[in-house]
Structure 1
Amino acid sequence: MTHMYDGLGKVLVIIPTYNEMLTLPDTLDAVLERIPQVHILVVDDASPDGTGAYADEVASRDERVFVMHRAAKDGLGAAYLAGFEWGLARDYAVVCEMDADGSHRATDLQVILDELAAHPRAALVLGSRWVPQGKVVNWPKHREVLSRGGNTYVRVLLGLGLQDATGGFRAYRAQVLRDIDFSTIQSHGYCFQVDMARSVIKAGGEIREVPIVFVERTAGESKMSGSIVREALVKVTLWGIEKRFYQLKGLVTKKTG
């Protein structure tokens, strides 16, 4: 079967890991079987459960898999930024984000890449849980309320126009990543996804959303914590205040100009 993404060029899928030994094998197998031409970079933050060693073993027998070992658990954002820099240095045309815990399906990665290929002006395609046909499976109600509420808060304060700005299943064209100054990205947790989306828009990039099915992990532990939620709330609020300040400043300048 031919997909539109066949013409995208070199595609890198970054999978950050910390204690994902129970789920990483199935994730790697699913992606490589569904989309055999992609490369995968596992970014492991010194997992004590052997995740990094397993990734090394896969990489030793499959030239499509690479592993980056980091010295300690340093947050989702730092892991992705390290992966972005690795991919850009090797001239990948498209760089994707994907979780290792089974919540992101390889079949939806195909949909995301096809959408990117179908819209040459798109700089970023988000896999969205909250657009029509998107859904979550086996999620506790409080998690859904938190995610929907958080995304509504982001839309109201930042005006990004996205239904799922916090989602971490996405594909970037390499060029827009080159246009972003990574030193300005200060978010470490899931707020990193909002930070990257607003940075793409600031860089003039178009963002599109496609529906995905998000499946709650069946093994391992969620990395979501109170500190991650607090970081997101504080940063989005500060970004919203900053946005309103510059809007008001622009209105004052226009009236007095």
Structure 2
Amino acid sequence: MHSKRTLPSTTHLVLIPSYNSGAKVYETVAQARVHWNPVWVVVDGSTDGTAAVLQDMAARDAGLRVIVLPKNQGKGAAVLYGLDQAAQQGYTHVLCMDSDGQHPANLIEAFMHCSQATPAAMVLGVPVFDASAPALRVWGRKISNWWANLETLWAGIGDSLYGFRVYPVDPLRSVMRGQRWMRRFDFDPEAAVRLCWRGVPPINLPAPVKYLQAHEGGVSHFNYRRDNLLLTWMHIRLMVGFVLRLPMLLMRALGRRSSLGK
């Protein structure tokens, strides 16, 4: 495996949480390595045998690190573990991407360069859907996006659910360590909202998303009932936080409008 980037970044890394993604994770990791160095994979208690193969890949590639967690804890928990490890090694930003092949590895460099130019911001992917996108999922995310923008007084979250993003490490760790949620499917939308509350501005960049079919190696752990209930409970919590923070958010929104008017 050879990366176009022979010199590793000392500030930005790619972080890929993985849980029973099947063989597609090998392709995802290989493509990520073509476009960035270093790449870390956090195997979240997978039982499909992928951990051993990924560790073998890492043994042959100095730009790849594989962390294996003993049991499944959820996407957010896996990301948080990676964030803690990244902070210990002095990294300031991570680009999170899914392991199932839905996210565009060829855009890693563009997102990283945007983050390097604006390190105080989070760089959020805004999905560009093709015909493979299930209509129910597309409409569902529109609802979640509306709530996320209400909860931040339209601070600029282009998409609340798309997981292809660059986060500043310290603010995200602080947000996650400050409460017990954001450990599973609720991680992506809650991270965007709570980081906005902390004053981390969003920058939105378009990125394609492809929903792979089973014959293409696609694996989905999304459960409509369980995960939609989780998102509903998340937005209830966030609305409570929104009301408590409303004076601060109003002042910040007025400040944005004032700066745009100059």
TM-score if structure 1 supplies the norm length? Answer: 0.83
Judge conservation of contact 1:125–1:208 (CA < 8 Å) in 2: yes
User: CA RMSD for the aligned pairs?
Assistant: 2.6
Preserved contact between residue 102 and residue 210 of structure 2 (Cα < 8 Å): yes
Counterpart of 2:182 in structure 1: which amino acid? Answer: S
Q: How many residues align?
A: 240
1:140 aligns with 2:134: yes
Matched, 1:40 2:39: yes
Shift in Å at residue 215 of structure 1? 1.1
Judge conservation of contact 1:46–1:73 (CA < 8 Å) in 2.
Answer: yes
Which of 122, 125, 139 is the equivalent residue of 2:123?
A: 125
Structure 1: runs of 5+ lacking an equivalent: 1-5, 252-257
Q: Which residue is 2:4 aligned to?
A: none
Post-superposition offset of 1:178: 5.6
Alignment partner of 1:166: what SS? coil
**CA shift for structure 1 position 171:** 0.8
Same amino acid, percent of matched pairs: 24
Retained in 1: the 8 A contact 2:28–2:101?
yes
**Which residue of the partner structure matches residue 71 of structure 2?**
72
Q: 2:197 aligns with which of 199, 202, 205?
A: 202
For the 8 Å contact 1:128–1:209, the answer to whether it is kept is yes
Matches within 5 A, 1:50-199: 50-120=49-119, 122-129=120-127, 134-159=128-153, 160-177=155-172, 179-180=174-175, 182-199=177-194
Q: CA deviation at 1:143?
A: 1.3
Structure 1 residue 109, shift from structure 2 partner? 1.6
User: Which runs of 4 or more aligned residues in structure 1 lie more than 6 Å from their structure 2 counterparts after TM superposition?
Assistant: 248-251
Question: Aligned in 2, Cα 1:96/1:248: closer, same or farther, shift over 3 Å?
Answer: closer
Partner of 2:217: 219
Secondary structure of 1:213's counterpart equals strand
TM-score, with length taken from structure 2: 0.82
1:206 partner amino acid:
P
Task: Report how far residue 246 of structure 1 moved.
Answer: 4.8
How many angstroms apart in 1 are the aligned matches of 2:91 and 2:245? 36
Q: Distance in 2 between matches of 1:241 and 1:137?
A: 37
Inter-partner Cα distance in structure 1 for 2:249 and 2:161: 29
Query: Are 2:176 and 2:182, in contact at CA under 8 Å, matched by a contact in 1?
Result: no
Once the two structures are TM-superposed, the CA of residue 28 in structure 1 deviates from its matched residue by: 1.3
- Matched with 1:255 is none
Q: Does the aligned pair in 2 maintain the 1:23–1:220 contact within 8 Å?
A: yes
Instruction: Give the C-alpha shift of residue 207 in structure 1.
Output: 1.6
Structure 2: tracts of 5 or more residues without a match: 1-6, 251-262
Partner secondary structure for residue 16 of structure 1: strand
